């Protein structure tokens, strides 16, 4: 048993060192971002003002896919940018297959009439996803520079004139601007994402921009030199993070990348946890894909400094921290349950806790105080939300890492947005709301495992670790709860997609008549066009679908059922631990005291409660039982020890026979203690526990299957 404990402990320590390396690297970048004033001044000196006559031609690319709630907002903002019309080309790269396309056609014709050079490119097939759309747009791009905005961004009017001057250095191939947040204070979820992105830009991106370290393009709110894109090989579709891929290939070619801290482009943060998880999944998986694709090239390039190579390795592989963290989270309670000696001196746990605090909350709060000054308190609150978010999202990102390493699937899943800005804005009844996935089951598992770990920490005499385990467990439960509560259960929407807009009615040339959302009609009214609304009643088998109120109450009942089963499972796990495993732990504690006792009477006093705590017979090792873990034999040995203790007590105190008998008794107790420690893990995987766990998981999967079947049924109604 000591061999298994030693292996787990060695694995735990190795993981701890690996995670520490990634953490220390963040502190290194923090130092670089705050202490590179000389480089900052040199960069500002190269910035030259540009008058309107010398402004270059710029192409703005807007890749869009099913974004009916934010697409018009984006196009409006782009067309309001202060830049000469004759030097500005706008490309709408639309891959949508819903009402978004009709809305965009309307607004594009509107701005074309006003004299904008605005093009609408629609692909019926999303080959290459976003990278494929950008690649298609590059073939007909007029601009010397290419600016890119995702659908959820709102560029300010002064964006181009303020940022284009940074290309005065001919070696600069990319300028990346900072992301702002339209709905930062909408919820704890958006606040956690906001502080995470802020730290990424103000520490990581800033540090790399001010040094020779490789920096990445964030996919939007940036400007590329067209010749840089072409020199680097253009947009590749082999990964799902085309931005990271291209920026690394460009820097391998010798191009520079700049981050502009003072130019902020506001964007909408995901308000649904399942959308945020999808975004995090894409970033984690894509980073590992780029690592497998380009790390060898970076490593073998002799022109790249060694510290740049190290930073590139850490950046591209940093999401490996998530599976490492989960592995450590699983191992730690096992070591406590095995009563493995984790530390040599009693004050070691306090030292570990202090190091954890210093390398985590204390350092982050210091950085937040230094970056935000008087406004640091609000950001500090957001950081504590981030602790829970980062812990819980590790399950989702671990799945992403494994998918990148072992599964060849390369599907780009977009992050849906709902046009949510103010606290009161509702999104749950809108299209694009995502259901939770099977990953939520894993999050629930880790939440329950964390609760078990807390009990083990308490009952094993290590309550000092409870605060850390509690924070991590809350993170898993927090993400699992949001995943379920944010899912698309409400189909009470009466499906009135019922506004027919004809070509003649809208006065739009070359437009096909089709059914569009009410938003399109409102848009047409905004453009002062004449609209005739026709109410279409869709029927199937003689029954109206549109007028039928879809109120699947059983969805709520199923959600209640899942939560009830989880609560029941947690209660059963607690009861099982208290009635089966805790008595064994308690018995081991008594035996430890008996082993240290200095008189046979004291030894007997400690052995007696051990007998009542252990079963009278049976063997927890049900697959391949052995005599060491047979409770019947252990009870017999305890009876024999009591008789021996009684015999020793009749001998002369401190005589040779007395001391030899007591030492022999101590050795026998140590053997029984090791036998009980060996038996403890098998109680977790007893035949009964395996059967109950299988039934418990089967019930949850059955409910998931029913929910999926119901969701597909309602999708059939919607499609009809």
**Which DSSP helix (H) or strand (E) runs through 385?**
helix 376-406
Q: Is 76 a catalytic residue?
A: no
DSSP H/E element including 261: strand 256-267
DSSP for residue 652: P
Question: Coil, helix or strand for 540?
Answer: strand
461 touches 442 (CB < 8 A): no
CB atoms < 10 A from the CB of 51, how many? Answer: 7
Strand pairing report for 117-122 and 499-501: unpaired
How is residue 81 annotated by DSSP?
S
Tokens of 490: 């409400």
Residue 172 token pair? 């600069």
* CA-wise closest residue to 218 among 210, 209, 226, 227: 209
CA-based torsion, 171, 158, 243, 319: positive or negative: positive
In the residue annotation, 243 being an active-site residue is answered as yes
The Cα 585–Cα 683 span in angstroms is 12
Burial class (CB in 10 A: 0-12, 13-18, 19+), 259: buried
Please report how many Cα atoms fall inside a 13 Å half-sphere around the Cα of residue 555, on the Cβ side: 20
Residue of 94, 243, 339, 630 marked catalytic: 243
Partners of 60 in the beta sheet?
Answer: 90, 147
Beta bridge partners of 179: 265
DSSP state of 262: E
Nearest to 637 by CA among 611, 602, 619: 611
Q: How far apart are CA 448 and CA 470, in angstroms?
A: 11
The answer to whether the beta carbons of residues 305 and 212 sit under 8 Å apart is: yes
What span, in angstroms and rounded, lies between the C-alpha atoms of 460 and 462?
6
What whole-number distance in Å separates Cα of residue 696 and Cα of residue 694? 5
Q: Which candidate in 95, 152, 245, 585 is catalytic?
A: 95
d(CA 463, CA 469): 10
Checking 441-444 for CB contacts under 8 A at 24+ apart, the result is 441/697, 441/700, 441/701, 441/704, 442/395, 442/399, 443/392, 443/395, 443/396, 443/476, 443/479, 443/480, 443/483, 444/476, 444/480, 444/566
Give the catalytic positions in this structure. 95, 243
């Amino acid at each position: 048993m000591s061999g298994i404990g030693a292996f787990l402990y060695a694995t735990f320590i190795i993981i701890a060192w690996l995670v520490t390396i990634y953490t220390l690297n963040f502190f290194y970048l923090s130092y670089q971002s705050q202490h590179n004033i000389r480089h900052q001044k040199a960069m500002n000196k190269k910035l030259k003002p540009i008058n309107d006559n010398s402004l270059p031609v710029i192409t703005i690319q807007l890749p869009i896919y099913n974004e009916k709630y934010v697409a018009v907002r984006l196009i409006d903002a782009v067309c309001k940018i202060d830049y000469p019309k004759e030097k500005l080309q706008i490309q709408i790269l639309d891959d949508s297959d819903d009402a978004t396309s009709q809305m965009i056609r309307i607004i594009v014709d509107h701005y074309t009439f006003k004299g904008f050079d605005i093009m609408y490119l629609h692909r019926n097939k999303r080959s290459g996803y976003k990278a494929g759309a950008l690649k298609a747009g590059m073939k007909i791009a007029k601009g010397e520079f290419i600016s890119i905005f995702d659908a959820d961004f709102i560029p300010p009017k002064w964006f181009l004139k303020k940022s284009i001057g940074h290309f005065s250095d001919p070696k600069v191939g990319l300028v990346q601007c900072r992301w702002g947040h339209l709905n930062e204070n909408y919820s704890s979820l958006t606040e956690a994402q906001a502080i995470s992105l802020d730290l990424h830009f103000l520490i990581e991106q800033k540090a790399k921009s001010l040094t020779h370290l490789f920096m990445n393009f964030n996919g939007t709110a940036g400007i590329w030199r067209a010749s840089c894109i072409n020199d680097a090989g253009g947009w590749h579709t082999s990964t799902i993070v085309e931005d990271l891929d291209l920026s690394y290939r460009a820097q391998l070619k010798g191009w520079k990348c700049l981050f502009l801290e003072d130019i902020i482009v506001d964007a909408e943060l995901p308000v649904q946890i399942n959308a945020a998880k999808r975004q995090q999944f894409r970033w984690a998986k894509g980073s590992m894909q780029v690592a497998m694709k380009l790390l060898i090239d970076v490593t073998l390039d002799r022109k790249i400094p060694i510290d740049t190579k190290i930073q590139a390795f850490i950046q591209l592989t940093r999401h490996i921290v998530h599976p490492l963290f989960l592995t450590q989270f699983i191992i730690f309670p096992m070591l406590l349950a095995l009563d493995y000696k984790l530390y040599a001196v009693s004050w070691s746990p306090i030292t570990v806790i202090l190091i954890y605090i210093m390398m985590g909350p204390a350092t982050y709060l210091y950085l937040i105080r230094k970056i935000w000054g008087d406004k640091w308190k609000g950001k500090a609150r957001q950081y504590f939300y981030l602790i829970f978010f980062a812990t819980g999202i590790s399950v989702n990102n671990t799945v992403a890492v494994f998918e990148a390493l072992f599964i060849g699937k390369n599907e780009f899943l977009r992050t849906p947005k709902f046009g949510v800005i103010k606290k009161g804005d509702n999104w749950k009844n809108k299209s694009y709301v995502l259901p939770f996935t099977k990953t939520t089951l894993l999050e629930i598992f880790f939440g329950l495992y964390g609760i078990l770990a807390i009990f083990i920490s308490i009952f094993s005499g290590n309550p000092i670790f409870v605060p850390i385990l509690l924070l991590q467990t809350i993170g898993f439960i927090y993400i699992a709860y949001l995943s379920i509560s944010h899912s698309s259960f409400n189909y009470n929407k009466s499906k009135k997609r019922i506004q027919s807009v004809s070509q003649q009615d809208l006065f739009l040339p070359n437009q096909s008549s089709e059914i569009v959302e009410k938003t399109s009609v409102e848009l047409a009214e905004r453009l002062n066009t004449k609209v005739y609304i026709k109410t279409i009643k869709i029927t199937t088998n003689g029954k109206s679908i549109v007028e039928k109120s879809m109120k699947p109450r059983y969805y709520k009942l199923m959600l209640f059922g899942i939560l009830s089963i989880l609560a029941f499972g947690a209660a059963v796990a607690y009861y099982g631990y208290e009635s089966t495993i805790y008595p064994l732990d308690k018995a081991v504690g008594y035996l430890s005291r008996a082993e240290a006792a200095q008189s046979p009477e004291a030894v007997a006093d400690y052995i007696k409660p051990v007998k009542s705590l252990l079963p009278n017979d049976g063997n927890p090792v049900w697959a391949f039982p052995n005599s060491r873990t047979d409770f019947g034999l252990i009870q017999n040995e305890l009876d024999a020890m009591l008789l021996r203790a009684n015999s020793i007590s009749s001998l002369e105190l401190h005589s040779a026979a007395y001391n030899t008998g007591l030492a022999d008794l101590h050795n026998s107790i140590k053997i029984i203690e090791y036998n009980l420690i060996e038996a403890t893990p098998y109680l977790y995987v007893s035949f009964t526990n395996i059967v109950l766990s299988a039934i418990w998981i089967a019930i949850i999967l059955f409910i998931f299957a029913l929910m999926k079947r119901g969701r597909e049924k309602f999708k059939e109604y919607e499609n009809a």
